């Protein structure tokens, strides 16, 4: 005959919004055989302990911008305007590249990929942020949190890889102009796109599994407007050393390697440009790189500033960090199509033609 004894351990939390949450922390099952005629525990009795907190079924709470809760409604207005500009600008850019045969070139193909990635980056974060600011929809499910985190980090790493590919395109166009069409064939471009997309996927996917292995038995309140890897991992009641090392080192080393390759490409480009005989030829060659350099600076400067501020800026307030992080996922996607529309003659002419023809109709 076997007897069982079950012990439940519950944790009751009353969060700042007045919601009472009950968490099942541990379920302990004691089972032991009864010796004949006796009801005592034998020394060999076994114990099975099941930690139920590994089942991450409860939702998380996204606070928004801590310290500015009273201003959320007003803060949401500029975010919404910038997001609309980002979506409209990148959609117009994609439309022009698709319909205009003169833009069916490697440079513009990479640009269309950058526009699609920018749409993913901004759309993964801004709509949820606006729902927090305007509707008070703070809850997000654990799968939803993982999905948002994946697409935010994936699009960031992919953006960096696309800028590296665009730098390679400019290097071939300026340093090896006679071999440009032979090197950057449609087949080669497809291989480059598949390679950088797969690389970005493989870098970010482990973040998802590193979070799913963690038990969340304490608070589920995230002081942010969206889910990001380390911010969610810090809520776990377990060792997160591997999350910190992988989540910080691997993506950052990947982006740094992209920056190094971009710097090498532009060093070779400048050497080739300054060897050109005429001033007009030099200006024309540099002009084709101007928009790309602007986009590179807009992407990497705030990214490295944010990383250094998180690492060394201990006196920088959390509110500033979160506001800056939100601006980062919406401002570069909004400015990139504007920069290319102003500085790239082919796109500028097509945009002017598009809106002038619409005006005549």
Lowest-confidence range among 22-36, 201-215, 321-335? Answer: 22-36
| Segment 173-220, tens digit of pLDDT | 888 888 999 999 999 999 999 999 999 999 999 999 999 988 888 778
User: In the structure encoding, which two tokens stand for residue 335, read together?
Assistant: 């400015």
Residues 6 or more apart in contact with residue 65 via CB below 8 angstroms: 72, 75, 225, 319, 322, 323, 326
CA distance 201 to 196: 9
Q: Is the dihedral of CA 310, 336, 168, 282 positive or negative?
A: negative
Residues 6 or more apart in contact with residue 35 via CB below 8 angstroms: 42
Bigger pLDDT: 55 vs 102: 102
In angstroms, the Cα distances linking 309 to 246, 299, 315, 317 are 19, 16, 9, 10
| In contact, 115 and 198? CB cutoff 8 Å | no
What pLDDT shows up at residue 358?
A: 62
What pLDDT shows up at residue 218?
A: 75
Q: Is 99 helix (H, G, I), strand (E, B) or coil?
A: helix
Residues 6 or more apart in contact with residue 136 via CB below 8 angstroms: none
Lowest-confidence range among 54-68, 105-119, 127-141, 330-344? Answer: 54-68
In angstroms, the Cα distances linking 311 to 155, 248, 308, 318, 321 are 22, 10, 5, 13, 11
Bigger pLDDT: 36 vs 124: 124
pTM given for the model: 0.81
CA distance 322 to 306: 10
Lowest-confidence range among 181-185, 228-232, 303-307? Answer: 303-307
pLDDT bucket at 68, cuts 50 / 70 / 90: confident
């Amino acid at each position: 005959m076997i007897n069982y004894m079950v012990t439940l351990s519950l944790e009751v939390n009353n969060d700042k919004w007045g919601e009472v949450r009950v968490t099942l922390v541990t379920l302990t099952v004691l089972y032991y055989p009864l010796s004949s005629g006796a009801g005592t525990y034998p020394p060999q009795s076994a114990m099975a302990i099941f930690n139920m907190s590994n089942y991450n079924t409860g939702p998380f709470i996204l606070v928004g911008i801590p310290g500015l809760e009273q201003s959320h409604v007003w803060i949401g207005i500029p975010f919404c305007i910038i997001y609309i500009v980002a979506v409209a600008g990148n959609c117009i850019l994609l439309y022009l590249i698709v319909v205009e045969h003169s833009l069916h070139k490697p440079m513009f193909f990479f640009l269309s990929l950058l526009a699609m990635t920018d749409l993913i980056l901004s759309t993964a974060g801004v709509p949820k942020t606006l729902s927090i600011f305007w509707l008070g929809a703070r809850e997000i499910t654990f799968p939803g949190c993982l999905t948002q985190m994946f697409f935010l980090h994936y699009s960031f790493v992919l953006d960096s890889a696309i800028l590296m590919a665009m730098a390679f395109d400019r290097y071939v166009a300026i340093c090896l102009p006679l071999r440009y069409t032979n090197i950057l064939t449609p087949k080669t471009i497809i291989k480059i796109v598949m390679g950088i997309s797969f690389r970005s996927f493989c870098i970010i996917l482990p973040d998802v599994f590193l979070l799913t292995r963690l038990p969340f038995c304490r608070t589920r309140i995230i002081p942010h407007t969206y889910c990001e890897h380390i911010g969610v991992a810090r809520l776990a009641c377990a060792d997160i050393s591997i999350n910190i090392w992988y989540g910080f080192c691997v993506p950052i080393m990947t982006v740094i390697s992209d920056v190094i390759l971009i710097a090498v490409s532009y060093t070779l480009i400048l050497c080739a440009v300054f060897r050109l005989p005429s001033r007009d030829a030099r200006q024309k060659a540099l002009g084709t790189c101007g928009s790309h350099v602007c986009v590179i600076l807009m992407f990497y400067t705030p990214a490295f500033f944010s990383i250094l501020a998180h690492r060394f800026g201990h006196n920088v307030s959390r509110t500033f960090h979160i506001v800056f992080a939100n601006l980062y996922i919406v401002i570069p996607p909004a400015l990139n199509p504007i920069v290319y529309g102003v500085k790239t003659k082919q796109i500028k002419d097509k945009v002017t033609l598009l809106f002038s023809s619409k005006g005549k109709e």
